[in-house]
Structure 1
Amino acid sequence: MNPYLAFILIVLIGSCCLDLLVERLNLKSFEATLPAEFQGYYDEAGYRRSQAYLRANARLEMVSEIVLTVLITGFIVFGGFNQVDGLARTFGLGPIWTGLMFAGLLLLARDLLEISLSAYQTFVIEETFGFNRTTVWTFFQDILKGWALAAFIGGPVFAVVLWFFDHAGHLAWLYCWGLITVLQLLLLFVAPVVILPVFNRFEPLPEGPLRTAILTYANSQGFKLKGIFTMDASRRSTKSNAFFIGFGPYKRVVLFDTLISRHSEDEIVAILAHEIGHYKQRHIHKTLMLSIFTTGLMLALLSQFIGNQRLFEAFRMQQTSTYAAFFFFGLLYTPLRMLFGIFGNLLSRRFEFAADTFAVKTSARPLALIEALKKLSVENLSNLTPHRLKVFLSYSHPPVLARIRAIHEMPPSPIGSPKISLS
C-alpha cells in the first residue's frame, strides 16, 4: 500500500476513534448530584435538562464524526479527488482558475453536508431546548453571506498563493507567509466595521448607568475604547455572551442583547473586566503570534510536498497540481494540527485564569464575576463536569467550576474586595 495513503487512513480512522472515545467518556462524566456551587441556580429538573441537552449534542457530534470519516475515506479510496479534478479541468481554464474551481467544488460538497448537520442542530436540538430563534430564511442568508465572503476574500488569496508557489521558486512559502500575515493583521481592523455587520446589527450602547459604569472602569485601567456596542444576538439564539474586538484605536466592546437583559450592571462590568484583562496582559498578541508561527510552519512543510508524485498516487490522481497538493497536505498535517490545537487550548485556558485574576483584582467584583459565570453556565446549559480528557483536547476555556474555585482561592484584593462565598 502507498505509505501516504496508509498514514492518512490511519490518521482519519484513529482521529475518529479518539473523538468517539472522548465523547463517550464525557457523557459518563456527568454527575447525578448537582455541584454545591450551583445549588439555588438549578433545580433538579433544570439540571437534568442541561444534561439531556449535552447528550443530544454529543450524540450528534458522534454521528457526524462517523459519517464524515466514512465519506472522506471512501472519497479518497475510490478516487473522488481525481474525479473532481477532471471536472475542473474540463472548463479549459488556466492552472489558477482550475485550482479555484477544484477548491470551490470540494468546499461546496463539504458545506452541503455540514449544512444538513447544522440545520438539525439548530432546528431540532436548539429548538427543543428553547435556544433557537433563527428562522429558515436567516439560516440560509448566513450561508449565502459566508459563501460570498469566501469567494471575495478567500478566492483571491488562494489565487495569489497558487501563483507564488507556481512562479516564486523555493521561497514561495515565505512570500505566502508574508501575504497571509498581512491579511490576518488587516482583518483585525477590518472585521469589526466591515465583516461582522454583514451578519449582525451593532448599535452603540445608549447613555445610562451601564455605559457609565463600563467607561468608568475602562478609564480606571487606562483602556481607551472606540465604542461600546450591543449585538442583536437574540435574532438567532437566547444564549448570552460578550466579546472584545479590534486593535489599537479600534478597540470595541460588544455585548449580546441577551446578556444585558439578564445580568446586573456589576456582573457585566466584571465580565468586561475579564475581557479587558486579556488585552492588558497581551493575550491577544500572544495568540496572534502563535497563529502566525503555525501558519509559517505549515506553509514551509507544504512546500516540501508540492508535486510529490507518491502523494498524488495515494489519492488516485492522474495529474499533479499545486492546488490539489494543498488539500492532500492538509490531511497529512492533521496530527501536527491536533498537537498545536492542544497547545493552543492549554495556553488559552491559562489566559482565562489570568484574565479572571485581573478582573477580580482590578474591579473588586469577585462576587459579581462568580455570579456572572454561574448565570452564563445555566443560561447556556454548559457542562459543569466535563471529562479531563475532553478538557485537555478541546477546551479553550477552563470548566466553570475550576474558574469559580480559583477565584475563591485568590487572596483578598488590596482594594478591599469582600471574602468570597461559594455557597
Structure 2
Amino acid sequence: MDVFLPVLFFSWIMYFWETYLSKRQHKMYEAVQALPKELTSVIDSKTFEKSRVYAIDKSNYEFWNGLFGQVIMTTVLWFGGLPFVWDLSGAILDKVGLDENNEIVHSLVFALLGNIFSLIIDLPWKFYYTFVVEEKHGFNKMTVGFFFKDLIKKTLVYEAINLPIMSLIIYIVKSGGDYFFIYAWLMVFIISMILLHIYPEYIAPLFDKYTPLPEGDLKKKIEELADSLDYPLKKLYVVEGSKRSSHSNAYMYGFHKNKRIVLFDTLLEDYTPVTRTESMKDTSDTDETGKDSKTEDGHDKEKKKIGCNTEEVVAVLGHELGHWYYSHMVKNLVIIQLNIFLMFFVFGKLMNLRQLYVGFGFSDFQPILIRLYVVFSFIFSPFNEIMSFVMNVLSRRFEFQADEFAVNLGKREQLKTALLKLFKDNLAFPVADWLYSTRHFSHPPLLERLRGMDDVKQKSE
C-alpha cells in the first residue's frame, strides 16, 4: 500500500495539534496581564508587560513561520520535489564529468542542493526574526554584515561535518550486511563522542570569543565550590555572547577528569571584556557590533545593568553541578544512544519495503539517503513525538533535582534571585498553559521552580 497520503495526512494532523497548543499559550499571553504576586519583589509591571509583548510577537512569528514551513514541505513532496532534485543532482554530476551512478557522490550533491534550498527559503525568516523581533525588544546585537558572515560560517561548518557523516552512513548501510545497524550505531556513537569534545574546544570558538575567567572573587568562589564537590574543574571560560545577543546562558562540558565551565558574559553583572581598549572607549561612538551607542540627540543610550552578581552566578553553577552530581548528562546520553540504536534496527526492517518510497516519486530506484529521510522523518514521526514528550518529562524531573541540590548547598535564595533576574533580563514570560508546557518545556515554568525550592527548604527544616 502506498503510504504517501497517510504520511502527509499525519504530518498535517501533527501540525494542527502543535498549532492548537501554541494557540492555547498565545491566549495565555493575552489573558494574563497582571504580574504574579511571587514576582513583584523583582519584576516591575513595566518589565512584565514588555515580556508579555515579546512573547506575543514571538508567538505570532512562530505561527506564520510554522505555516510557511508546513506548506513548503507539502508542496515539495506533492509535486515531486525530491525526485526532481535527485535527477538534477545526476545532471550536474554528468555535466562536470562525474559518475551519477556513484550513489554516495550523487547523495552528497542531492543533500547539498536541498540544504541550499532550505537556506534560501529560511533566510528571510531568520533575518526578520533577528532584525525585527529581536531588535524591537533590545536583544539583537548583530549588524547585517555580522549576520551574513555568521550564517555563511555556520553553513560551511555544518556541511563540513554533516556531509562526511552522511557518506559514512550510506556506505555502512550499503555494505554492512544484515548487521549494518550495529555498525551504523557504533559509528554515530563514536562521532558524537568526538564532537562532544572537539565542538566546544575547536568549533564553537570559530563563532564566538572564549577567554579565561579573570582572577577575582567570582573565579575563587567557583573553584571553591567545585573543590568542595570533587568536581574536576580544569578551565573556566567566558564567551563573548553579547556580540550577537543579550540573552544569557552557562554550560559545562568535558570527559572524566577534564571538565570545563563556560559562562556567557551576559550572565555576569560586572564583567567587562578584556579586549576593550581605552582608545575604543575614548574615540568611538559605536559599540562592538558597529551600532551607534548614542541617541539621536547625542546623549549616551541608557546602560541597563543585566546579569547576576557573584553569589547568584555561583548558585546557578550549583544547579549545574547538580546535573553532574546526579549524572543527568550521562543518563540522557544513554537514552539517546539506545534510541538511535533502536531506530537503526527498525530502519533495517523497513528499508527494503518498496511501497514506502513509491509515493515519494522513487518507484524504480530507492537511494539509501531517500530511504533514511522517509523512514526517519515520516515513518518514525509518531514515535519521535512520544520520545520528545518522555524526554521533556525526564528533563523537568532532572531540573527539579538540580534545584534541590543547589538548595541543599545553602543557595536557595541566591538561585531564586538569579532565576528571577535571568527571566527579567531575557523577558521570559513566567506563566504557561499546562498542556503547552507539558509538550514543549524541557524546564519547569519559573513559578513551579520557585515553589519547588521553597518546598525543599520546608522539608529540611
The TM-score bracket by the shorter chain reads over 0.9
The CA RMSD measured in Å over matched residues stands at 1.5
Letter in 2 for 1:168: G
The AA in structure 1 aligned to 2:396 is R
Structure 1 segment 383-402 matched on structure 2, within 5 A = 383-402=429-448
Residue 28 of structure 1 aligns with an amino acid whose one-letter code is K
Instruction: Please state how far the C-alpha of 1:312 moved relative to its aligned partner.
Output: 1.8
Equivalent AA in structure 1 for residue 188 of structure 2:
I
2:326 to 268, 271, 281: 281
Match of 1:53 in 2: 54
- What is the DSSP-based 3-state SS (H/G/I as helix, E as strand, rest coil) of the residue aligned with 2:456? coil
1:137, distance to aligned residue in structure 2 (A) = 2.2
TM-superposition CA deviations, 1:94-125 (whole Å, max 9, x none): 11000111112122222222222121111100
Change over 3 Å in CA distance of 1:210–1:228 after alignment to 2: same
Q: Which residue does 1:365 correspond to in 2?
A: 411
Q: Trace 1:226-375 onto structure 2 (pairs within 5 A).
A: 226-261=234-269, 262-318=307-363, 319-329=365-375, 330-362=377-409, 364-375=410-421
- Which digits, 9 at most, give the CA deviation of each residue in 1:252-290, with x for residues without a partner? 111111111231111000000111110111000001111
Higher mean displacement: 170-179 or 296-305: 296-305
* Separation (CA, whole Å) in 2 of partners of 1:308 and 1:81: 18
The aligned runs of 1:22-101 (5 Å cut-off) are 22-30=21-29, 31-90=32-91, 91=93, 92-93=99-100, 94-101=102-109
Q: Deviations over 1:300-340 (max 9, x none)?
A: 12222324321221112253111111111122211111111
Partner Cα distance (1:346, 1:331) in 2: 23
**Residues 185 and 340 in structure 2, CA contact (< 8 A), matched pair in contact too:** yes
- Give the one of 174, 177, 180 matched to 2:185: 177
In the alignment, the residues of structure 1 paired with residue 40 and residue 395 of structure 2 have an alpha-carbon distance, to the nearest angstrom, of 29
Cα distance in 1 for residues equivalent to 2:374 and 2:192:
24
Counterpart of 2:260, as a letter, is R
Q: Provide the C-alpha distance between the structure 2 equivalents of 1:137 and 1:248, rounded to a whole number of angstroms.
A: 40
1:5 and 2:50 matched: no
Equivalent position SS for 2:350: coil
**In 2: Cα distance, 1:3 partner to 1:118 partner:** 36
Q: Cα deviations across residues 58-102 of structure 1 (Å, max 9, x unaligned)?
A: 111111111111111111111111101111122133110001111
Counterpart for residue 15 of structure 1 = 14
Partner of 1:189: 197
Matched, 1:210 2:218: yes
- Secondary structure in 2 aligned to 1:303? helix
2:450, 2:250 → 1: CA distance?
18
Q: Which amino acid aligns with 1:345?
A: N
User: Separation in 2 of the partners of 1:160 and 1:270?
Assistant: 43
**Offset at 1:18?**
1.0
Listed as ranges, the gaps of 5+ residues in structure 2 are 94-98, 270-306
User: Would you say the 8 A contact 2:232–2:258 is kept in 1?
Assistant: no
Separation (CA, whole Å) in 2 of partners of 1:411 and 1:52:
34
8 A Cα contact 2:236 2:260, kept in partner: yes
Aligned to 1:112: 120
Stretches of structure 1 that go unaligned for 5 or more consecutive residues are none
Alpha-carbon distance between aligned partners in 1 of 2:197 and 2:119, rounded to the nearest angstrom = 28
Q: What is the CA–CA distance in structure 1 between the aligned matches of 2:227 and 2:3, rounded to whole Å?
A: 56
TM-score, scaled relative to structure 2:
0.87
Counterpart residue number, 1:126: 134
Distance 2:459 2:207 in 1: 41
Alpha carbons 1:360, 1:413 under 8 Å: kept = no
Q: Percent identity among equivalent residues?
A: 29
> Does the 8 Å contact 2:393/2:442 carry over to 1?
yes
User: Which residue identity is paired with 1:213?
Assistant: K
Shift of 1:367: 0.5
Code of the residue aligned with 1:296 in structure 2: it is F
Cα distance between partner residues in 1 of 2:438 and 2:199: 30
C-alpha distance in structure 2 between counterparts of 1:120 and 1:170, whole Å: 48
User: In structure 2, what is the equivalent of residue 136 of structure 1?
Assistant: 144
**TM-score of the superposed pair, with normalisation by structure 1:** 0.94
More off after superposition, 143-152 vs 189-198: 143-152
Inter-partner Cα distance in structure 2 for 1:297 and 1:139 = 39
- Alignment correspondent of 2:454: 408
**Structure 1 moving runs of 4+ over 4 Å:** none
Name the counterpart of 2:154. 146
Q: Which stretch shows the higher mean deviation, 370-379 or 307-316?
A: 307-316
